[in-house]
Copies of this chain bind each other. A is one copy, B any other.
Amino acid sequence: LSFRVIRAAQATWQGTVSDGGGHIAVSSGALDGPYSFRARVDDVEQVTNPEELIAAAEAGCFTMSLADRLTEAGHPPRELRTMARARLEQVGQQFNVTRIDLSAVADVPGIDAAEFARLAEQAKDCTITRALAGTEITLEASLAAQSLAGG
């Protein structure tokens, strides 16, 4: 029997896109709040949007995947930190997430830069990256200074 789980979320909306608003909640309860059209195109405190949630999913998946690769290689990370920037762009009449840029800094005692670079590239092929086949995903990964010093 193969492994399978369901992870869920719910969204609501009232009214028009420009004047109305909505709400997004995930089943763990970690996120439960408003979202809006304006939050997709402008910065609105505490109001989420689908694009930053895609960025969060990709950052989280890649970072856990990198921790897994590093651990298997005998170098569990002291700390990994990944920023994901999703670009929402007009393409003809559509708005597309044309790319997500990952930028990771890793504090990993005892690893050399070449092995780290190889594992980071492998980690990019994670569950959410494969789901996001319609958008380009780029990666810049570097070792923190304390790793290079043998920290």
What residues make up the interface of A, taking CB atoms closer than 8 Å to B? 2-17, 20, 22, 24-31, 33-35, 37, 39-64, 66-68, 71, 76-91, 94-97, 127-128, 130-135
CB-CB under 8 A for A13 and B66, given A30-B31, A131-B132: yes
CB-CB under 8 A for A48 and B22, given A10-B81, A77-B14, A86-B8: no
Counted per complex, copies of this chain come to: 2
Q: Is A15 touching B132 in the complex (CB atoms < 8 A)? A: no
Q: Please name all residues of chain B whose beta carbon is closer than 8 Å to the beta carbon of A71 when the two chains form the complex.
A: 16-17
Q: Please name all residues of chain B whose beta carbon is closer than 8 Å to the beta carbon of A29 when the two chains form the complex.
A: 45-46
Q: Which of A2, A60, A88 has most chain B Cβ within 10 Å?
A: A60
The residue that A13 contacts in the complex, of B58, B80, B95, B128, with Cβ under 8 A, is B80
Question: A37 to nearest B CB, angstroms?
Answer: 6
Question: A11 to nearest B CB, angstroms?
Answer: 4
Q: Is B24 touching A59 in the complex (CB atoms < 8 A)? A: yes
Q: Is A89 touching B4 in the complex (CB atoms < 8 A)? A: yes
